[in-house]
Amino acid sequence: MLIGDRPKDNEDIYIGVMGVTGAGKSSFIQQCVPEVKNIVGEDYDSFTRDCIPYQMTFEGRNVFLIDTPGFNDSSVRDVDILNDLAGWLAKSYQESIRLNGLIYLHGIQDARMTGSDRMHLTVFKRLTGLENMSHVVLATSFWDVTDHAKGEHRENQLITRDDFWKKMKDAGAVVIRFKNDRASAMEMVKRIVDQNEKTTLKIQVEMKEGRTVRCTGAGQTLEEDISDRVKDAAKELEKRHTDLAQAMRDENEEAAQEALEAQERLKAEMAELNKTKNKLDVTTKQLIEQKDAEIKRVKEEAERLRLEKEKAGEEHKRELSAKDKEADARVERNDREWQQGIQMFTDKTLGDLAAGIAANSGGAQHLSQGQKPALTEERVEEMFRRVALENRVKELEAQQAKEQAPPPYSSAPSQYQQPPQVLPQSVCYPPPAHNREAELGIVAGGMGALALTSMCSVM
Ligand SMILES: Nc1nc2c(ncn2[C@@H]2O[C@H](COP(=O)(O)OP(=O)(O)OP(=O)(O)O)[C@@H](O)[C@H]2O)c(=O)[nH]1
Ligand SMILES: [Mg+2]
C-alpha cells in the first residue's frame, strides 16, 4: 500500500515502528502479520530500506504497521533514513493521515548503550516530541537470548536513567517486553489501538512550519553528530600534519608515506560528512516531491509488472490454444489415416474373402466388395485374425508353388508329380503337397466361417 492509496477512514490505526538496525522491528511486524515473508534481516547489515506499511486487523480495526529502516552507525545512511522518514511523515500529513502511535524497539541483549544508541534515541525523542509520549510504546526485545537477571537489570537502567527512557516514561510512554512471539506483539498493538487517539509528531509540526530537515529537532541531532565527526576528523588531520613534519625531519620515508595516506583518507571523510550534512537542507516541498516521484515510480513499476504478467498470461493462453489445435489436428489426422487404412484393408479383405467364399462354397454370394461393414472393436480384432490367416494362406501357397515347380537340372518327371503318399506327420517334414492342400482347405474354411460371422454381426 502507498500513502494516499486508501480512501481515508479515521477508524484506521497507523503505528510507526522504529529503533536501531537489528532491534527487531520487522520481526515484530512479522508476528503481527504472519503472512508477510522475507522482511526480517538475516545478518548484521541493515535490512529494511524504506518505510513500508503492513496491514492487519485487530479487534475489527484496520491497523497499519509502518516498518522503517533502522538507524545505524553510518552518518550517510542515517541522514538518508531521517530524510526518508521525514518525507513519509510529511506526505502522510499532507494526505491527512495521522499516526496513532509509535513503537520503539531496543535489544536488551547488549550490555551497554553505545554512543550511537544514545544519539538515535535522542533523534527518536526529538522526532516524536515529549508531548506525544503517551502514544509511545518502548519495547525491549531479545529476551529469549538474554540471561533473565541481566535483562531485568538493564531494563531497570533504561527506565531509571534520564538520558535513557526515564523522561519518556514519565511523560506517558509505556514499557513492554517483546518476547518475539505473537502474544507480546499483540499486547503492544493493543495498547495503541485501545488508546484510540491520533497524534501529530513534533517533526510533522516543524515541517509544516516550513523548516528544512536540518532545522528540525531530529535533524539538528544528526547535524550535531556529523559536526562532531567532522571535528574529530579535523583533529586527526592536524595530528597527521605533525606526524608528517616529524617524519620528514627524521627522514623516515615509510612514516611520511603513512601520514600522507592518512591525511588523504581524512580529507575525503570530511568532504563526505559535509556533503551528507548538506543533504539535511531539504524542504518539506522537496521531500513531498521526492515522495510523489517515488510513489509514481512504484506505481509505474507495479503497472509494468501487471501488464507483463497479463501479456505473459495471454501468450501462455495463445501457446496453449495453438498446442491444443495442433494436438486436435494430429488426432484428427491419425484418426483419418487409421480409418482410411482400415477401410482399405476392409475393402480388400472382404473383397478377397467374398471372391474366395463364392469360389469355394458357392454360398454367401451376397457378400460383395461393395459392402462395408461398420467398424467395431470386434471387427478390427476379426480383421487382424483374418490378416494372420491370410498371411498363413499366402505362405502355404508360396511354399506349394515352389515345391511343385520341376527341378531346373532334370527333364525327367519330377517326384512332385507322383501320386501323393500319406506319411505320418512326425516323419514328414516339410509336409507333402497333398497335406498342404488339406491344410489350405482348413484355412479357407476358417476364413469363410470368419467372414460369415462378420456378416452376421453386420446384419
Ligand atoms: N532471538 C531473537 N532474535 C531476534 C529477536 N528480534 C529480532 N531477532 C533477530 O534479529 C535479526 C534482525 O531482526 P529484524 O527484525 O530484521 O531487525 P530490524 O529492526 O527490522 O532491522 P533493520 O531492518 O536492519 O532495521 C533477525 O535475524 C531476527 O530474527 C528476538 O526478540 N529474539
Ligand atoms: Mg527491518
Write the DSSP string, 300-335: HHHHHHHHHHHHHHHHHHHHHHHHHHHHHHHHHHHH
CA 141 / ligand 1 centre spacing (Å): 9
180 CB near ligand 1 (under 6 Å): yes
CA 25 / ligand 1 centre spacing (Å): 7
Atom of ligand 1 nearest to the CA of 141: 31
Atom of ligand 1 nearest to the CA of 145: 1
Closest residue (by CA) to atom 30 of ligand 1?
A: 142
CA 293 / ligand 2 centre spacing (Å): 23
Mutation to probe ligand 1, out of 18, 25, 26, 27 (largest number of atoms < 8 A from CB): 27
25 CB near ligand 1 (under 6 Å): yes
Dihedral sign (CA 202, 203, 209, 214): positive
Closest residue (by CA) to atom 8 of ligand 1?
A: 24
What residue has cell string 517483546? 178
Closest residue (by CA) to atom 27 of ligand 1?
A: 42
CA 14 / ligand 2 centre spacing (Å): 17
Residue 339's contacts (CB-CB under 8 Å, 6 or more residues apart) are 375
Tell me the ligand closest to 42's alpha carbon.
1
Note the pLDDT of residue 413.
Answer: 41
CA 244 / ligand 1 centre spacing (Å): 45
30 CB near ligand 1 (under 6 Å): no
151 CB near ligand 1 (under 6 Å): no
How is residue 166 annotated by DSSP? I
What residue has cell string 487382424? 384
140 CB near ligand 1 (under 6 Å): no
**Cα–Cα distance measured from residue 272 to residue 277, given in angstroms and rounded to the nearest whole number:** 9
Is 99 within 8 Å of 15 (Cβ atoms)? yes
Q: What would the CATH number be for the domain defined by 1-210?
A: 3.40.50.300
69 CB near ligand 1 (under 6 Å): yes
Q: How many residues does the chain have?
A: 459
| Per-position pLDDT tens, the chain of length 459 | 566 666 667 789 999 999 999 999 999 999 999 998 888 877 666 678 889 999 999 999 999 999 999 988 788 889 999 999 999 999 999 999 999 999 999 999 988 888 889 999 999 999 999 999 999 999 999 999 999 999 999 999 999 999 999 999 999 999 999 999 999 999 999 999 999 999 999 999 999 999 999 999 999 999 999 999 999 999 999 999 999 999 999 999 999 999 999 999 999 999 999 999 999 999 999 999 998 998 898 889 989 999 999 999 999 988 888 888 888 888 888 888 778 877 777 777 667 766 766 666 554 445 445 555 566 677 777 777 778 888 888 888 888 787 776 554 434 443 444 444 433 333 333 334 444 444 444 444 444 444 433 433 433
CA 23 / ligand 2 centre spacing (Å): 8
What DSSP assignment string belongs to 52-97?
EEEEEEETTEEEEEEE-PPB-S-HHHHHHHHHHHHHHHHHHHHTT-
Q: For residue 385, what is the enclosing H or E element? A: helix 377-404
Residue 18, helix vs strand vs coil:
strand
48 CB near ligand 1 (under 6 Å): yes
Tell me the ligand closest to 181's alpha carbon.
1
Domain with CATH 3.40.50.300 in the chain: 1-210
**Cα–Cα distance measured from residue 289 to residue 276, given in angstroms and rounded to the nearest whole number:** 20
41 CB near ligand 1 (under 6 Å): yes
CA 409 / ligand 1 centre spacing (Å): 105
Note the pLDDT of residue 155.
Answer: 97
Report the 10 Å Cβ neighbour count for 308: 10
Query: How many Cα atoms sit within 13 Å of 213 on the Cβ side?
Result: 29
Closest residue (by CA) to atom 32 of ligand 1?
A: 142
The whole model's pTM is what? 0.69
Mutation to probe ligand 1, out of 26, 82, 84 (largest number of atoms < 8 A from CB): 26
Atom of ligand 1 nearest to the CA of 42: 27
CA 39 / ligand 1 centre spacing (Å): 10
CA 142 / ligand 2 centre spacing (Å): 15
Note the pLDDT of residue 382.
Answer: 77
CA 286 / ligand 2 centre spacing (Å): 26
46 CB near ligand 1 (under 6 Å): yes
Note the pLDDT of residue 421.
Answer: 41
**Cα–Cα distance measured from residue 32 to residue 388, given in angstroms and rounded to the nearest whole number:** 76
**Closest C-alpha to 391, from 352, 430, 341, 339:** 352
Closest residue (by CA) to atom 9 of ligand 1?
A: 24
CA 50 / ligand 1 centre spacing (Å): 16
Residue 419, helix vs strand vs coil:
coil
How is residue 20 annotated by DSSP? B
71 CB near ligand 1 (under 6 Å): no
